[in-house]
């Protein structure tokens, strides 16, 4: 069955028939069990060379149903298509997983409990080996059920305090506190936080970091919460109204980069100048922030470190090499750009370049 003559997808049955061996023998070799089943090196080599020649692609789902191991990891985030952080993490995780013989399957929950539960059940029925999840609120029971069945779970970006589960998160409290202290040290007095209407741990910690810095400085707090599930236009309008109603605000901290993008559109609509009229910092970097005029100060998450820790925890759990629960908290980095410095400071900075 030369490769040039193959006109249909090759099956394990075709390989066995062509080489004159049993389907079971082919399956053992393809699943890495040749030595365990005492299959000769010569036959193993012959099968693997033939598989390569005919470009055989195993049906991973079917393989999972037979063996109980699919070699597939599910990466479940709130929005894989519209969040730069998750997209970058996904790419690095995929590369490392591939090196270890695993594939990544992606899905988005839209931060909805019902959709997350539906997806977990869907992939559970297909013998997915492990889950990397940014959990929406209210799915503790489903996660605990997976853990009870010995299925590896790593939570990313946020954790579920009621569960004992591997997770990799950012030090959101101290990162936000540092950013607000930076604004205060640059002379800003009326500093607002625009964040999500959410009790998730990462948002709660960013709010707490803001409140602590504001209280310590004896300043007034200004907090606006927007809804993740509302349209962009709706949330931009909400931010415009908030800034109009609180026109003494001279600085604003956006708790995510997509809120930051909404905020920049609101600020532009109001014809406010950055940083002359209002200073800006956003949690999470974005390509737009680097090239915006003026450039936007950010709290940047360490994407390579997040990715490395997440996939290491997952692979160790899959290989049963480390049963310990790891709770990893990584520092973020305040990248100071033009948007958070008083004009006189910006001019001095430019002069010294």
pLDDT tens, position by position, 248-259:
999 999 999 999
CB 342 within 8 A of CB 275: yes
Strands 297-300 and 333-335: antiparallel
CATH hierarchy code of domain 66-170+303-331? 3.40.50.2300
Query: In the Cβ-directed half-sphere of 37, how many Cα atoms lie within 13 Å?
Result: 14
pLDDT score of 35: 82
- Please determine, for residue 102, whether its predicted confidence score (pLDDT) is greater than 70: yes
Domain ranges of the chain: 3-58, 66-170+303-331, 172-301+335-352
pLDDT score of 345: 45
Q: Please name the residues in contact with 207: beta carbons below 8 A apart, sequence gap of 6 or more.
A: 176, 193, 195, 223, 255
pLDDT score of 332: 96
How far apart are alpha carbons 335 and 341 in whole angstroms? Answer: 12
The reply to whether CATH 1.10.260.40 applies to domain 3-58 is yes
| More reliable by pLDDT, 346 or 208 | 208
Residue 270: other Cβ atoms inside 10 A = 14
Signed CA dihedral, 242, 245, 246, 247: sign only: positive
- Please determine, for residue 68, whether its predicted confidence score (pLDDT) is greater than 80: no
Tell me what the mean pLDDT of segment 208-212 comes to: 98
Tell me if the pTM is above 0.85: no
Query: In this prediction, what percent of the chain has a pLDDT beyond 70?
Result: 89
Signed CA dihedral, 233, 175, 211, 205: sign only: positive
pLDDT tens, position by position, 219-229:
999 999 999 98
3-state secondary structure of 95: helix
- Please determine, for residue 2, whether its predicted confidence score (pLDDT) is greater than 50: no
pLDDT band, very low/low/confident/very high, at 12 (cuts 50, 70, 90): confident
pLDDT score of 323: 77
Signed CA dihedral, 46, 47, 52, 55: sign only: positive
pLDDT score of 349: 44
- Please determine, for residue 348, whether its predicted confidence score (pLDDT) is greater than 50: no
CA distances from 256 to 120, 206, 288 (A): 26, 10, 13
Fold for domain 172-301+335-352?
Answer: Rossmann fold (3.40.50)
Question: In the chain, how long is the greatest CA-to-CA distance?
Answer: 82
How far apart are alpha carbons 158 and 253 in whole angstroms? Answer: 20
Q: In which order are the strands placed within the sheet that holds 191-196?
A: 222-226, 191-196, 251-254, 279-283, 297-300, 333-335
pLDDT score of 164: 92
- Mean pLDDT for the chain overall: 88
How far apart are alpha carbons 115 and 306 in whole angstroms? Answer: 25
pLDDT score of 226: 97
CB 191 within 8 A of CB 214: yes
Do 66-170+303-331 and 3-58 have the same topology in CATH? Answer: no
Number of H helices, E strands in the chain: 14, 12
How far apart are alpha carbons 222 and 244 in whole angstroms? Answer: 13
CB 340 within 8 A of CB 251: yes
């Amino acid at each position: 069955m030369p490769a040039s003559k193959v006109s249909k997808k090759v099956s394990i049955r075709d390989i066995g028939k062509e080489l004159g061996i049993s389907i079971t023998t082919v399956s053992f070799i393809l699943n890495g069990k040749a030595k365990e089943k005492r299959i000769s090196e010569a036959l193993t080599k012959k099968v693997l060379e033939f598989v390569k020649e005919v470009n055989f692609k195993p049906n991973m789902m079917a393989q999972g149903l037979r063996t109980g191991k699919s070699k597939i990891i599910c990466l479940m985030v709130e929005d894989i298509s519209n969040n730069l952080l998750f997209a970058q993490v996904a790419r690095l995780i995929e590369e490392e997983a591939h090196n270890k013989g695993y594939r990544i399957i992606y899905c988005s929950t839209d931060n909805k409990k019902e959709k997350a539960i539906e997806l977990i059940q869907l992939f559970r029925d297909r013998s997915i080996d492990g889950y990397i999840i940014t959990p929406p609120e209210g799915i503790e029971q489903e996660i605990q059920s997976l853990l009870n069945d010995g299925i590896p779970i790593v939570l990313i970006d946020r954790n579920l305090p009621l569960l004992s589960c591997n997770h990799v998160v950012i030090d959101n409290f101290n990162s936000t506190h540092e950013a607000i202290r930076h604004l205060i040290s640059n002379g800003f007095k009326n500093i607002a936080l625009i964040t999500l209407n959410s009790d998730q741990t990462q948002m709660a910690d960013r709010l707490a970091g803001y409140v602590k810095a504001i209280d310590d400085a004896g300043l007034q707090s200004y907090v606006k919460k927007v809804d993740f599930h509302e349209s962009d236009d709706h949330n931009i309008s909400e931010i415009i109204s908030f800034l109009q109603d609180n026109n003494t605000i001279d600085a604003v901290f956006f708790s995510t980069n997509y809120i930051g993008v909404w905020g920049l559109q609101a600020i532009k609509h109001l014809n406010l100048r950055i940083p002359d009229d209002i200073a800006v910092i956003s949690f999470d970097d974005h390509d737009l922030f680097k090239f915006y005029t003026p450039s936007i100060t950010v709290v940047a998450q360490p994407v390579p470190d997040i990715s490395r820790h997440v996939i290491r925890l997952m692979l160790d759990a899959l290989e049963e090499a480390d049963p310990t629960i790891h709770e990893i908290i990584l520092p973020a980095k305040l990248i100071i750009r033009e948007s958070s410095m008083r004009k006189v400071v910006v001019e001095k900075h430019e002069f010294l370049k």
